Amino acid sequence: MSGLTHFDAAGRAVMVDVGGKAETARTATARARVVMQPQTLRLIRGGGAAKGDVLGVARLAGIMAAKRTAELIPLCHPLPISAVEVALEPEGEDAVAISATVRTTGRTGVEMEALTAASIAALTVYDMCKAVDRGMRIEGVRVVAKSGGASGDFRQE
C-alpha cells in the first residue's frame, strides 16, 4: 500500500497534481442502504409519504450531489462528469438499497462522486421520512467497483 496522497512532505494537506496523468475512461459505483421500520417502507412504496415521491426525489438529489462533489470535499478535483445513474430499490421489508454509478473521461477517478451520490440519496430518504421514523439507519456506504486509471480495476460486494 502506498502512502497518503493528499499530504506533502511536511504533512500539510494538498490537492494531488493529476496534470501528468493520462486521460482515461473511469467509472465508479458506490452503494448504501437505509434501514427503517417496515411501516416506513410501506409508506414509501405506497406513495404515502407527506413529502411526496421519496425514491424519485432521492434519486435526483444523488445525481445533483455527484455534480457538486468538489464543492463539498475540499481536495476533490472538479470533474466533467459524463453520466450519473442512481437507483433506489426497496429491499426486504425494512430497507432501501441505493446504487450510484458515475462515469467520466479524465485524469482522476470518480469514486468520491459515486460515494457522494449514494450518501446524499440516503440522506434524502432520511430527510423525507424522519417525521414518521427517526430511528432510520444509513449503512454500508462503500465503493463496490471502480475502473480506469493507473491503479486498475477494483471490485467488492
Active site residues: 127
Q: Is 107 helix (H, G, I), strand (E, B) or coil?
A: coil
Output b/e per residue, 23-34; b: 16+ Cβ within 10 A.
Answer: eeebbbbbbbbb
CA atoms within 13 A of residue 13's CA, in its CB half-sphere: 4
CA atoms of 105 and 92, how far apart (whole Å): 36
